[in-house]
Amino acid sequence: AQSVTQPDIHITVSEGASLELRCNYSYGATPYLFWYVQSPGQGLQLLLKYFSGDTLVQGIKGFEAEFKRSQSSFNLRKPSVHWSDAAEYFCAVGHTSGTYKYIFGTGTRLKVLA
Amino acid sequence: GAGVSQSPSNKVTEKGKDVELRCDPISGHTALYWYRQRLGQGLEFLIYFQGNSAPDKSGLPSDRFSAERTGESVSTLTIQRTQQEDSAVYLCASSLDALYEQYFGPGTRLTVT
């Protein structure tokens, strides 16, 4: 069955440090890939998306993600984390395989140390 | 333009009562989704509507849960005979079409006492 895995439940980084959040998917073809952020007390917001083309995509708030077909991964990165980046991050995959499916990962909670 | 709206924002109900949650999607969005998010947990898919196609109900946890959508407009999620384990935030999202990015509403926080 298709699945999305975010192996890190919690990540803690210092402000100014770089960040990488991992996302792996299980699906035969190239899916549509998304990263969402859920800040404390706020709704879910799209950070970036990949449909096709350039495998490195830029998003809002200085985030980027790279699609690696060989590794079935779509990791989220930021070169320098800000305290306001503390939030929960969800990777999502959309695909059609007979029927349409849109699957969210279980999320990674990011804590930023001052 | 207006985003996805949900009402009520908070609902406290007694165990055994029925509740109805409402979602107003972004105008023109053909796809609509309902999710449940328990405290500290991820998103649990409940149901998906796409245009006039039959909804994908594969995520509904029991027959106490049902949802309707009229055309490409408002959707209601109904929970009958609520149980304490139904306490969660219920999120609605809409998208222009299947596989496009989803725009989320603020959610309805349901507390069953």
Reading chain A (114 residues) residue by residue, the pLDDT tens digits are: 678 999 999 999 999 999 999 999 987 677 889 999 999 878 899 999 998 888 999 999 999 999 999 999 999 999 999 999 999 999 998 877 666 677 899 999 999 998
* Cα B34 to chain centroid, rounded: 3
Alpha-carbon distance values, B66 to B5, B55, B79, B94 (Å): 19, 11, 7, 18
B45 → chain A, closest CA residue: A103
Alpha-carbon gap, residue B60 to B21, rounded angstroms: 15
Residue from A52, A104, A106 whose CB has the most chain B CBs within 10 Å, to mutate: A104
What digits encode the pLDDT tens for the residues B13-67?
Answer: 999 999 999 999 999 999 999 999 998 888 899 999 988 888 999 899 999 999 9
Measured between CB atoms, which of B48, B91, B101 is closest to A46? B101
Alpha-carbon distance values, B44 to A19, A104, B7, B89, B109 (Å): 26, 8, 19, 10, 15
